[in-house]
Amino acid sequence: AKHAGGNRCELADPEADARAITRHGLTTALPVALERGEFFIEYQPLVHLGDGSVRGAEALVRWLHPQHGVIGPDRFIPLAEHTGLIVPLGRWVLEESVRQARTWQARHADAGPLRVNVNLSPCQLTHPGLVSDTVEILERTGLAPGALCLEVTESALIGADDDLLKPLRHLAEMGVDIALDDFGTGYSNLANLRRLPVSVLKLDRAFTQGMQHYPVDPVDLKIVEGIVSLAHSLDLAVTVEGVETGAQADQLRELGCDTAQGWYYARPGPPDRLHELALADVL
Ligand code: C2E
Ligand code: CA
Ligand code: CA
Ligand code: CA
């Protein structure tokens, strides 16, 4: 009976237990999934706020699990980071996205070069192969470095020392854009921006969400206005994410933001869909 009691105790939170089993199951399945080619990438357009043209897309990875169906990155990226699989997985995402951008450019030569944004995990930043892998992938595919933007979260760079910034600096000097992702969510040291080799600020969805209800809090507007003007004075472009309505797009355009991304324009989708949207010229 005591043993049974012990067992019951472990099962006291069956949901947590199921989660733990799933997490364990997913973790052990990850390396096999990479070998079997179960990951795929969806692309979400990046739209120029001034003229509504599609300028490129952010690559967002998904896992088509044979039993669980499509699993979003929020559920498996942390596991991949924990096990170190993020390095080969991230390299695969980079190669696949760069190859895809090259294909768009070949099919869409007349309408300005489409660019691709790829997310980098902090673990990839500290991996010694980052620069050589990126150079090798760009050379092999023939994509111009200026058509690639690597997104790094603000939190990954907080307190970053020169050793951490060196590979990013190297890539920036080659012409690769570096974007500071989820900007404004963490503890933003605005003065620190000057020191970082970034050329794009991606304003977090939280700012856009604050503009969902009217009238928009004038203090919120002032904050975004301030960030945009600071960014521009440092020669950084501003991209906003999570734009869900036309009213938000109008407001963000008025505030001087350069590029937008969100469901209002398009959900993440297959690569051919991006090609169609880019051909439509204006969203
Ligand atoms: P993120 O980099 O901030 O990507 C933006 C997320 O917002 C995406 O979620 C996107 O689908 C979602 N989103 C886009 N527009 C809207 C909108 O209008 N409204 C709302 N509510 N959401 C919108 P997703 O695809 O689930 O990706 C989640 C996170 O997973 C990403 O956040 C990124 O941090 C990470 N991630 C995705 N792909 C990769 C990857 O290849 N490598 C790494 N290291 N992380 C990745
Ligand atoms: Ca991102
Ligand atoms: Ca983001
Ligand atoms: Ca985010």
Tokens of 18: 């199921």
| Chain segment 247-279, per-residue pLDDT in tens | 999 999 999 999 999 999 999 999 999 988 888
What is the predicted pLDDT for the residue at 49? 97
Question: Cα separations (Å) of 244 from 37, 39, 78, 94?
Answer: 32, 27, 27, 27
What is the predicted pLDDT for the residue at 276? 87
Protein residue closest via CA to atom 11 of ligand 1: 268
CA distance 252 to 79: 35
Q: Is the CB of 244 under 6 A from ligand 1?
A: yes
Closest atom of ligand 1 relative to the 243 alpha carbon: 18
Q: Which residues have a Cβ under 8 Å from the Cβ of 212 and sit 6 or more positions away?
A: 244, 245, 248
Ligand 2 centre from 119 Cα, in Å? 5
Residue of 34, 87, 119, 267 to mutate, ligand 1, most atoms within 8 A of C-beta: 119
Write out the DSSP string of 50-90.
Answer: TT-BEEEEEEEEEEEETTTEEE-HHHHHHHHHHHTTHHHHH
Task: Give Cα 222 to chain centroid, integer Å.
Answer: 26
C-alpha angle 120-126-130 in degrees, rounded to nearest 5: 60
Our CA dihedral for 99, 91, 121, 212, rounded to 10 degrees, sits at 20
- For tokens 């010694």, what's the residue? 128
Please identify every stretch of the chain with a pLDDT value under 70, giving residue numbers as ranges: 1-14, 17-18, 21, 109-112, 187-188, 281-282
What is the predicted pLDDT for the residue at 106? 87
State the ligand closest to the CA atom of 208: 1
Is the distance from CB of 56 to CB of 274 less than 8 angstroms? no
Ligand 3 centre from 205 Cα, in Å? 7
C-alpha angle 120-268-24 in degrees, rounded to nearest 5: 60
Burial, 11: exposed, middle or buried (Cβ in 10 Å; 0-12, 13-18, 19+)? Answer: exposed
Q: Which residues of 100-113 are buried (b: 16+ CB within 10 A; e: fewer)?
A: bbbbbbeebeeeee
Query: Cα(first)–Cα(last) distance of the chain, in Å?
Result: 67
Q: Is the CB of 74 under 6 A from ligand 1?
A: yes
Ligand 2 centre from 111 Cα, in Å? 24
C-alpha angle 261-263-266 in degrees, rounded to nearest 5: 80
Q: Is the CB of 81 under 6 A from ligand 1?
A: no
Protein residue closest via CA to atom 4 of ligand 1: 60
* Strand 54-65, strand 200-203: pairing: unpaired
C-alpha angle 75-161-257 in degrees, rounded to nearest 5: 60
Ligand 1 centre from 151 Cα, in Å? 11
What is the predicted pLDDT for the residue at 110? 64
| Chain segment 171-208, per-residue pLDDT in tens | 999 999 999 999 987 766 777 888 899 999 999 998 88
Q: Please count the other Cβ atoms lying within 10 Å of the Cβ belonging to residue 171.
A: 22
